[in-house]
Amino acid sequence: AQSVTQLGSHVSVSEGALVLLRCNYSSSVPPYLFWYVQYPNQGLQLLLKYTTGATLVKGINGFEAEFKKSETSFHLTKPSAHMSDAAEYFCAVKTSGSARQLTFGSGTQLTVLP
């Protein structure tokens, strides 16, 4: 079975500050990990994904995430928050051989304060 846990349903940061959104996964086999962003009344947009290889993954809009197997984590970071980053962020996991299913975390609402 696979699952993800997102620590913190709400995170607030000041504009220009570091963004850190936490995601821990549980999987019995090597996972594929994803971060999606959802703006109000819109669908989900893929920010970045980890499959194999380099553990530091760079995505769109200046976001990056590091896969740490020893900590079963895949935290999302951005050095400097922008007002336009305010949105809901979902971490998701998919394991090799599963029937093309993503399992989503519960989501983290990011607020950026001026």
Partner 1 sequence: DTEVTQTPKHLVMGMTNKKSLKCEQHMGHRAMYWYKQKAKKPPELMFVYSYEKLSINESVPSRFSPECPNSSLLNLHLHALQPEDSALYLCASSAGGRGQAYGYTFGSGTRLTVV
Does 100 bind partner 1 (CB under 8 A)? Our answer is: yes
Instruction: Scan residues 62-91 and list those touching partner 1 (CB under 8 A).
Output: 90
Identify the residue among 28, 41, 70, 84 touching partner 1 (CB under 8 A). 41
Report the SS3 class of residue 61.
helix
Does 45 bind partner 1 (CB under 8 A)? Our answer is: yes
Identify the residue among 3, 61, 80, 101 touching partner 1 (CB under 8 A). 101
Residue of 28, 41, 25, 22 lying closest to 110 (CA atoms):
22
Find out whether 67 and 59 touch, Cβ atoms under 8 Å. no
Q: What is the closest distance, in whole angstroms, from the C-beta atom of residue 62 to partner 1 in the complex?
A: 18
